[in-house]
Amino acid sequence: MVDYEVESTLREIRERVIAGSARAGVIARRTPGESADVPGVDSPSAAAPSATDGEGVEALSRLRANLATTERAWSRLPPVVSYRRGAVARVELWLKRQIKRAAHWFTWEQVNFNSAAHSALADAHSALAAHERALEELRDLLRRQQAEAESNAARFSELRARLDAFESRLGSAEAHVNQTLTQLASDMRQFVEQLREERRAGTEQLRAERREYLDALADALRDEARDRVEYALEEQRVCFKQLSLEASEAAVAQDRARRRIEARIEALERTKAVTSDK
Amino acid sequence: MKDDLYRRAGISDLAEFYRTKFVSDEVLDARYFRALDRFDMRFARTMWVYDNVRAGATLLDLGCGAGVLALLKRKGVTLAGVDLSAECALASRRNGYDVTCAAELTRLPFDDASFDYVVSLDVLGHVGFDEKDAVLAEIRRVLRPGGVTLHGIECTDRRTQKSYEEMTAEELRRFVAVDGHIGLEEEQEHAARFRRFFSHVAWEPRYALCLSSEEFIKQSDEYGLPFESDFVEYLRGLTFAERRAFDMAMGYVFGKISDLHVRLPKSGLYVLVKASDAPLGSFYNEHRDRSALFTSGTNDALADAALHSDSTAPVGAARSFCLDRAAEFDDGWYEPNVLPPVARWMKSRGRVRFNAPSLSALRLDLTTHIPDLTTRPLGLELLLNGQRLCALSLFRHGWLSLLTEVPEELATAGDYELEIRADRTWQPRPADTGNRDDRELSIAVCNVEAYL
């Protein structure tokens, strides 16, 4: 049992030595301007994983290893042993047992102290681990923000370049527009003048055409009126002709009636004459 | 009541309403009447009156309209007419009535006992119920003793038709607006009303079987009479010539029913009433003498008179007589219209037959309304007894006076047949559903004058 404990203690010492040499190697590889004391703060390289990060992790590992030791050994006391032999050894062991019994209060205080130290170390480990995680998150956030800032800076540079290009083109376009407007104003003046001329000519032409149209319309109306008058006259002629023919028929009928009456009168007179002769 | 019904129907000017309903450009002058038209259903009522009126009598036509009784001039009847519309009175006068006037039927402007006959056709159905007795009293007043009154009256059938009181405002408006009927009664109610004024009354329901094609469609469309719809649609699709054939057939049957004294059942459409204080003769043919309808040969007398009288001869011209009212116009001519003047429209070919002791020339006035005349002149050809007198093309509208000489070899033929041929016709309004006229017309002719 004792051998086992000694062996594990030695292993811990070896691991500590190896971890210490590794940390020394990392520090040696750093550039001279880099600060190892304030990792990740106001440093352009803060976003990158620093040696301090590793150191913090390493320290926590060591602390966890020590905690394993304290957890295991805080209530253990060394055994009562003697390197002597025989009676001397027995006396020595007896004395040591007596001393152990007499110093029990001190041993007990040591055990309490060990326990308190172990608990304190465990709490410190938890706090440091939490702090380490928070730091790691902050570092990640910082890295992201830094990447975003770099991206924004690049985007800003690009936008700036484009804005400069636009301003340049706008300037040339404004100049072109001004030139075009000037040209258009000139053309417009010419066009308006030309329109005035055309309007004058068109008005004259329309007046002439209107005169011609009105003359033609008047001629057409005269022709239509003449046609209608002619038609009305023809219709009148035909109606009067019809009346004339009806009047002739009436005259014929009257003449026939007159002749019939005269014939009857003659017949009556003849009858009267014959009667008077008789 | 009467005015109220008219007002509810939206009719404010009665005279104008009846003028638009009953005045047309149709010529009813007896001198233009063709004997064949006695079979036309449109003249069925006229012929009933014609066959019941004594020749030479005096007759008062109540609600004379355009003068549908003008035919009675053929029997020498003295015709007087009364109408609400002054224009109707004038139209009757133009069609040969001896005297016409605009007056209310309840206050006739004639002395007592002035007429042998008082007639009304399609009138008493337009008289309000509160005025009917007053009208009958006036009829009795102006009739001579023993005089006869004849009436054709529109009726209703209360079993199938709503009374005025039962109609909604819209139904009443539509019903009265069709013809102005505000006093429809049943057949026996009319007869009963006449019996209160005359001791002898006879009545016959008519028009249960025979209606003109136009009347079938009107009764179906306007009054909702339940004729078979496919039959009405068939009638609607008939051409002018087919409609005339239908009306002639209907008129023929109508006449035969009268001649055979066949008693028809109650029709709810129309009743003929004959009444008098004296005993009545035959209901249909009391004074039937149709010989005057066939006197188109009066051109003999006219020609003879023209030959022997100087009074009709124009100065410096040969003596002549007019064929319009004397000659026989065949089926190639439509009945005369007032264009004016009074003229006959011709189909693609028309013939005029007449007699004359001699013939030196023919003269006539003609016109056409055919469209596109300037681009496509109308070709005409005149033939006399089959021999061509002349040919011409009409290329303008308006009246043309045409005088053509008669060849020597035809001068004394006696019987003549003038034939006119046109190379095309047109239809005035073939697709007008409201006022369709699908007659095939070429030229209108009048004042056809024969020179001796």
Q: Higher model confidence: residue A179 or residue A73? A: A179
B63 in the Ramachandran plot: left (φ > 0), alpha (ψ -120 to 50) or beta?
Answer: left
User: Are B250 and B338 part of one and the same domain?
Assistant: no
CA–CA dist B77, B71 (Å, integer):
9
Q: Tell me the mean pLDDT in the region A253-277.
A: 88
Q: Which of A107-121, B110-124, B273-287, B334-348 has the lowest mean pLDDT?
A: A107-121
What's the mean pLDDT when you consider all of chain A? 83
Residue ranges with strand state E in B296-408: 320-322, 328-329, 337-338, 342-345, 349-355, 361-367, 378-384, 387-394, 400-405
Closest by CA to B33, choosing from B42, B20, B23, B24, is B42
User: Are B230 and B330 part of one and the same domain?
Assistant: no
pLDDT given at position B248? 95
Q: Higher model confidence: residue B54 or residue A66? A: B54
* pLDDT digits 0-9 by tens, B275-295: 999 999 999 889 999 988 886
User: Are B274 and B319 part of one and the same domain?
Assistant: no
User: Are B18 and B128 part of one and the same domain?
Assistant: yes
What's the mean pLDDT when you consider all of chain B? 88
Side chain identity, residue A124: A
Residue ranges with strand state E in chain A: none
pLDDT given at position A70? 79
Contact assignment for B447 to A241 by CB distance below 8 Å: yes
Grade residue A117 by pLDDT with cuts at 50, 70 and 90: confident
User: Are B311 and B272 part of one and the same domain?
Assistant: no
State the nearest Cα–Cα gap between A216 and chain B, in angstroms.
20
* Cβ under 8 Å to A: B residues 380-439: 397-399, 401
CA–CA dist B380, B420 (Å, integer):
7
Spell out which residues of chain A touch residue B312, defining contact as CB-CB under 8 Å. Answer: 248, 251-252, 255
Nearest Cα residue in chain A from B366: A238
Q: Which residues 6+ apart lie within 8 Å of A69 measured at CB? A: A9, A12
State the nearest Cα–Cα gap between A232 and chain B, in angstroms.
9
Give Rg (Cα) of chain A: 71
**B211 contacts B52 by C-beta, under 8 angstroms:** no
* pLDDT digits 0-9 by tens, B11-57: 878 778 877 777 777 889 998 888 899 999 989 999 999 999 999 99
Q: Tell me the mean pLDDT in the region B381-400.
A: 92
Q: Which of A46-50, A61-65, B333-337, B416-420 has the lowest mean pLDDT?
A: A46-50
pTM (global) more than 0.90: no
Q: Which of A231, A249, A253 sits opposite B322 (nearest CB)?
A: A249
Nearest Cα residue in chain B from A231: B398
CATH number of the domain within which B254 lies: 3.40.50.150
Q: Tell me the mean pLDDT in the region A200-218.
A: 94
For testing the chain A interface, which of B447, B449, B451, B452 should be mutated: the one with the most A CBs within 10 Å? B447
pLDDT given at position B79? 97
Q: Which residues 6+ apart lie within 8 Å of B126 measured at CB? A: B18, B63, B179, B180, B181, B182, B183
Give Rg (Cα) of chain B: 24
User: Are B105 and B246 part of one and the same domain?
Assistant: yes
Grade residue B296 by pLDDT with cuts at 50, 70 and 90: low
Q: Tell me the mean pLDDT in the region B308-337.
A: 74
Grade residue A85 by pLDDT with cuts at 50, 70 and 90: confident
DSSP B393-427: EE-S-S-EEEEEEPPGGGTT-SEEEEEEEES--B-
The Cβ-side half-sphere exposure at B62, using a 13 Å CA radius, reads 32
Q: Which residues 6+ apart lie within 8 Å of B208 measured at CB? A: B264, B265, B266, B267, B269
DSSP A64-78: HHHHHHHHHHTT---
Contact assignment for A242 to B302 by CB distance below 8 Å: no
Spell out which residues of chain A touch residue B394, defining contact as CB-CB under 8 Å. Answer: none
CA–CA dist B220, B226 (Å, integer):
7
* pLDDT digits 0-9 by tens, B109-167: 999 999 999 999 999 998 988 899 999 999 999 999 999 999 999 988 888 778 877 88
Q: Higher model confidence: residue B305 or residue B222? A: B222
Residue B98 has pLDDT above 60, yes or no: yes
Spell out which residues of chain B touch residue A223, defining contact as CB-CB under 8 Å. Answer: none
User: Are B277 and B339 part of one and the same domain?
Assistant: no
**A135 contacts A142 by C-beta, under 8 angstroms:** no
Last residue of a domain, one of B288, B323, B356: B288
User: Are B19 and B88 part of one and the same domain?
Assistant: yes
pLDDT given at position A203? 93
Using the Cβ of B374 and the Cβ atoms of chain A, whether some distance falls under 8 Å is answered with: no
| Number of structural domains found in chain B | 2
* pLDDT digits 0-9 by tens, A222-233: 999 998 898 888
Q: Which of B312, B341, B398 sits opposite A252 (nearest CB)?
A: B312
What A117-123 contacts at long range (C-beta under 8 Å, 24+ apart), as own/partner pairs, is A117/A70, A117/A74, A118/A67, A118/A70, A118/A71, A118/A74, A121/A63, A121/A66, A121/A67, A121/A70, A122/A67, A122/A71
Spell out which residues of chain B touch residue A232, defining contact as CB-CB under 8 Å. Answer: none
User: Are B103 and B10 part of one and the same domain?
Assistant: yes
Contact assignment for B342 to A234 by CB distance below 8 Å: no
**A100 contacts A80 by C-beta, under 8 angstroms:** yes
Last residue of a domain, one of B266, B288, B310: B288
Residue B390 has pLDDT above 70, yes or no: yes
| CB contacts < 8 A (A, B) | 62
State the nearest Cα–Cα gap between A276 and chain B, in angstroms.
34
User: Are B343 and B251 part of one and the same domain?
Assistant: no
Side chain identity, residue B328: E
Beta strands B415-422 and B320-322 are: unpaired
State the nearest Cα–Cα gap between B439 and chain A, in angstroms.
23
Q: Which of A6-15, A240-249, B226-235, B395-404 has the lowest mean pLDDT?
A: A6-15
pLDDT given at position B298? 55
User: Are B199 and B96 part of one and the same domain?
Assistant: yes
CA–CA dist B385, B238 (Å, integer):
35
Tell me which residue range forms the domain holding B82.
Answer: 2-288
pLDDT given at position A22? 62
State the nearest Cα–Cα gap between A189 and chain B, in angstroms.
54
pLDDT given at position B261? 85
Report ipTM for this prediction: 0.79
Percent of chain B's residues with pLDDT above 70: 94
Closest by CA to B58, choosing from B114, B96, B101, is B114
Last residue of a domain, one of B234, B259, B288: B288
User: Are B23 and B64 part of one and the same domain?
Assistant: yes
CATH number of the domain within which B437 lies: 2.60.120.260
Closest by CA to B108, choosing from B70, B143, B66, is B143
* pLDDT digits 0-9 by tens, B162-202: 887 788 888 888 888 888 888 888 888 999 999 999 999 99
Residue B445 has pLDDT above 80, yes or no: yes
Grade residue B429 by pLDDT with cuts at 50, 70 and 90: confident
Task: Classify the C-alpha dihedral B351-B356-B359-B361 as positive or negative.
Answer: negative
**B49 contacts B121 by C-beta, under 8 angstroms:** yes
Grade residue B338 by pLDDT with cuts at 50, 70 and 90: confident
Q: Higher model confidence: residue B397 or residue A12? A: B397
pLDDT given at position A43? 41
